[in-house]
Amino acid sequence: MHDSSTAKSSLWGSNEFKVGSLTYTRSALLTVMFWMLWADLCLQIMESLPTVIPLQLKWLHASDKLIGFVKDSLPAILTVAFVPIIGMQSDRHRGKLGRRRPFLLWSTIPVCLFLTLLGYADPLTRWLHGMMAGMTLPAVGITVIMIFAAGFFFFNLYVMQVYQYLVADVIPKEAMGTFIGLFRAIGAVGGFIFNRWIFGFAETDVHWVYVGCALLYAGAFFLLVWRVREGEYPPPDGAGEKPGAVQFLQRYAKECFGNPFYVKVFSIALFYWSAWVPFMTFILFFATQTAGADFTPSLGVNVGEFGKIKGWTFLPKVLIFACLGPLVDRFHALRMLLVGIVLVTVTYLAGFFVVHTPNQFLFWWVSNEVAQAIFQLAYLAMFPVLLPRDKYGQYFSANQLFFSAGLIASPVLCGWFMDVIKDYRYLFLWSGVCAALSLLFVFAVYRHWKRLGGDAGYVAPIYSEAYNSRLSPGKTAVSNL
């Protein structure tokens, strides 16, 4: 693995790259990046499907509070319950396919199954309603969607988590910013494709939308497992140990949350996603005519027009992601992160005052997404350079766990706020305030990183039981190993 001095080289400045036990020529690395990015394109198209769930629930007259729970809080609950297990399970797994690819392979089929069931939720609801005379049709439909959504969110959790772990295991650090830039650009293309040409069919052919996207995703990930190889890994710490649930949780909490530096890192995501996730759930109702009659009138566009507006917001992100990746490698992810979160906060707050027509909405959303692109690019590039590589899945999952605990409450609270105030315009203020809190933690992390050595000497701090055992009773410390 490269040290900080070689990490400044670019993807084009060398013909040999190393990550762990893997060694690439430039052409071999570009081949790996191609298969990873192709899988990401199809994954992002598939990942756009949960934006259809709020529509399906709204058609059944579900409240915003319930929609916020199903779309955002439910996956957050599953994340809190299972990402610690997924992270440590994947880090410690050793098999013929490595420690990441088996989980991608095993999860693909149930993900596609539950997506197909969501696509056919309406006929299944009508069939089940005939056998449940005591329940109304909407109650049956909401229950069906919740069950299928929970199944999808659970297995998709493995996919989304382990794919991120695989990135850190097969992409060298000196090419990480460039890869993440292309990764986000490809993801934006996938979002554009879905919203520009697919989302509008959700009202008329929702089953084909789900099934088609699921099949595309399945093909891409089977190819990924086949074409991308992992390196050799040393035996995990404490190989052969089988700690009980209490010991597991204690060890996980000590290692991941025993250092205030990582708590600050995790808090960035807590407030950023508390701004972004409810916004992406409820902005549809601000723009369209699907809000309740007692709400302040929306912009008045229909679902198809909304999809086209949203689709256009992805195109500037493609340019931002493709161009700024090398700048992240050059100037460090934390500096770019600080720029991005300032712009995100300012645009959210400005939206409350400036958005009154569909054209203003399009211009504002494009501006906001440019800011989001800068932040999200730096955000993903931050983890491989800040977290310990040998336990990357564990620490990455801790970040997911931390902010998902907040997401259990924030979408429901935001939905409750919308139900009370009856005006989706206040969604801009909700997101602006949460983004401002994230900004405070980005600044705190940057200062702490400088104290830990910054560009020249930063080494990921790791909790050390051996070191702490030498301290007097009741004291703990974190060592830089």
Q: What percent of the chain has pLDDT over 90?
A: 40
Q: What is the CATH number of the domain that holds 190?
A: 1.20.1250.20
Of 304 and 467, which is predicted with more confidence? 304
The position carrying tokens 């990046």 is: 33
Q: Which domain holds residue 448?
A: 6-230+244-468
Q: Which of 344, 349, 347, 317 is nearest to 442 (CA)?
A: 344
Distance CA 340, CA 288 (A): 29
Integer Rg of the chain from CA: 22
Diameter of the chain by CA atoms? 70
- The whole-model pTM stands at 0.70
Distance CA 28, CA 123 (A): 48
**Residue 115 maps to a domain:** yes
Instruction: Give pLDDT tens digits for 88-115.
Output: 888 889 888 999 999 999 999 999 999 9
Residue 268 pLDDT > 90:
yes
In this prediction, residue 418 has a pLDDT band, given cuts at 50, 70 and 90, of: confident
Mean pLDDT of 431-450: 96
**What pLDDT, on a 0 to 100 scale, did the predictor assign at position 44?**
84
**What pLDDT, on a 0 to 100 scale, did the predictor assign at position 119?**
93
Instruction: Give pLDDT tens digits for 361-393.
Output: 999 999 999 999 899 889 988 998 899 888 888
In this prediction, residue 280 has a pLDDT band, given cuts at 50, 70 and 90, of: confident
Domain total in the chain = 1
Mean pLDDT of 336-353: 96
In this prediction, residue 463 has a pLDDT band, given cuts at 50, 70 and 90, of: low
Task: List CB contacts of 328: < 8 A, sequence separation 6 or more.
Answer: 176, 177, 180, 181, 336, 377, 378, 381
**Residue 238 maps to a domain:** no
**What pLDDT, on a 0 to 100 scale, did the predictor assign at position 421?**
87
**Residue 481 maps to a domain:** no
**Residue 474 maps to a domain:** no
CB 20 within 8 A of CB 231: yes
**Residue 1 maps to a domain:** no
Of 333 and 291, which is predicted with more confidence? 333
**Residue 26 maps to a domain:** yes
Mean pLDDT of 280-290: 81
**Residue 186 maps to a domain:** yes
**Residue 475 maps to a domain:** no
Q: What percent of the chain has pLDDT over 70?
A: 90
